[in-house]
Amino acid sequence: MYNGAVGKVSIVVFFGLLFLLASHHVSLAMDDFYVFKNYGSVTNHFLGINKLGDHDSIYTREDLNNVSPAGGSSLEVVYNPRGYETHYASTISLIVSDDESKDMYDLNGAKRLFFYARGKNGGEIVEFDIGSISIDSAQLGTASSGPIVLDNAWQEYSIDLEGLNLSRTKVGFSISLNRYDNSDGAVLYLDEIRYEF
């Protein structure tokens, strides 16, 4: 575990900071609720993408060669810090839909968020987060893994969700990187991002 301070401003890849937006929402009963399973899977629930900050520093794509223990394709995240003085942060979000009027998900009752992750080389420093923001921007619940140094072999991680208000989830998962900890860039792989009840 990495205990050093994360940079003042982080490069943040949001696969999900959970947003509460003024919209309808769907109540669900399930055992596993997937943010991402495989590309094209009918179980993926966060199909829209949103970017903020330095758009050019980070992107995602399907990777067929880095298969997790769960099998199938993985999600590759590539971060190349540009060194711009005005934009230390970038955001990519996997959201329910690009249309903000679309339904959100009621994930109240979820106990933990599980996911597989690995670094291309090992040593990449990342932080995984979830959270929710109300319409008036009052935070209802957040949780974080804290900074983690990734191995180059697949590892399963989880975040405790007990007690969080996840009733109007627009976005499902976030990954934070900063150029201070990853000055030469970083490549990482994700799979089986899911809420368990």
Tally of CB atoms within 10 A around 184: 11
Q: Quick: pLDDT tens for 139-152.
A: 566 788 989 999 99
Q: Quick: pLDDT tens for 77-106.
A: 998 887 665 455 555 556 565 555 556 788
**Which domain covers residue 25, as residue numbers?**
11-196
User: What residues does 160 pair with on adjacent strands?
Assistant: 112
Q: Is pLDDT above 90 for 196?
A: yes
Query: Looking at residue 154, what is its pLDDT?
Result: 96
The overall longest dimension of the chain from CA atoms, in Å, is 46
**Domain assignment present for 132:** yes
**Domain assignment present for 5:** no
Structural domain count of the chain? 1
DSSP state for residue 55 in the 8-state scheme: G
CATH number of the domain within which 78 lies: 2.60.120.430
**Domain assignment present for 147:** yes
Task: List strand residue ranges (DSSP E) for 110-173, in order.
Answer: 112-119, 125-133, 139-149, 155-160
**Domain assignment present for 4:** no
**Domain assignment present for 3:** no
**Domain assignment present for 121:** yes
**Domain assignment present for 33:** yes
Q: Quick: pLDDT tens for 2-52.
A: 444 444 344 444 444 443 333 444 444 457 999 999 888 888 887 766 665
Alpha-carbon distance values, 162 to 19, 64, 119, 194 (Å): 18, 34, 28, 15
Question: Is the overall model pTM greater than 0.85, yes or no?
Answer: no
**Domain assignment present for 36:** yes
DSSP state for residue 169 in the 8-state scheme: B
Q: Is 152 exposed, middle or buried (0-12, 13-18, 19+ CB in 10 A)?
A: middle
| Calpha distance 150→6 (Å, rounded) | 15
The fraction of the chain above a pLDDT of 70, given in percent, is 64
